[in-house]
Amino acid sequence: MMQWTLAGLFAVSALLLVFSILKSNRAAKAEHSQIDMVHIETMKEIHALQDSLRNMELDMEVVVTEAGIPFSADEIVFKREVLDLYKRNYSIASIAEKKGVSEAEIEQLLAPYQKVKEERRMVANAN
């Protein structure tokens, strides 16, 4: 009788093991499918951002060309970095020091952007 009980318990444990393996395989497949979907969505978003960036670069090139402003790539990068530092609230003195140019040059470069900023403040305060 004891042998039958042991054999029965062994058979039940084998069935439970097989059931557990099948269930974990299904769960792993479902999780893998979810990961694939997230990956696909992320790749779509990255592609959309790349397209948007490419369009902005082309728009900038068109504007610079149409305006007839002859800037070299280095000048554009320099101006962009200076403007970025200014918009992040660096002082003109610290920007000049960081870029190795005079404060007067930085003030001259930022003058059009400071005017726009002041106009925005005046409009915001008027409301």
The pLDDT value recorded for residue 26 is 92
Q: Is the pLDDT of residue 121 over 60?
A: no
Mean pLDDT on 94-110: 92
75 in the same domain as 64 = no
- Residues near 102 by beta carbon (within 8 Å), at least 6 away in sequence: 96
The pLDDT value recorded for residue 117 is 55
Q: Is the pLDDT of residue 105 over 80?
A: yes
Pairwise pLDDT comparison (123 vs 70), residue with the higher score = 70
13 in the same domain as 26 = yes
47 in the same domain as 86 = no
Q: Is the pLDDT of residue 127 over 70?
A: no
Average pLDDT, whole number, for the chain?
86
For the record, the structure tokens of 106 come out as 């930085």
Domain that residue 85 falls in: 71-127
CA distance 83 to 26: 54
The pLDDT value recorded for residue 126 is 61
**Length in residues, the chain:** 127
Mean pLDDT on 21-35: 92
CA distance 121 to 102: 27
For the record, the structure tokens of 82 come out as 């200076």
Per residue in 54-89, pLDDT tens?
999 888 878 877 787 777 778 888 988 999 999 999
Rg (CA), the chain: 32
Q: Provide the 10 A C-beta neighbour count for residue 43.
A: 10
61 in the same domain as 44 = yes
Per residue in 29-46, pLDDT tens?
999 999 999 999 999 999
Give the domain-ending residue among 22, 38, 69.
69
* Distinct helix (H) and strand (E) counts, the chain: 4, 0
CATH of residue 104: 1.10.10
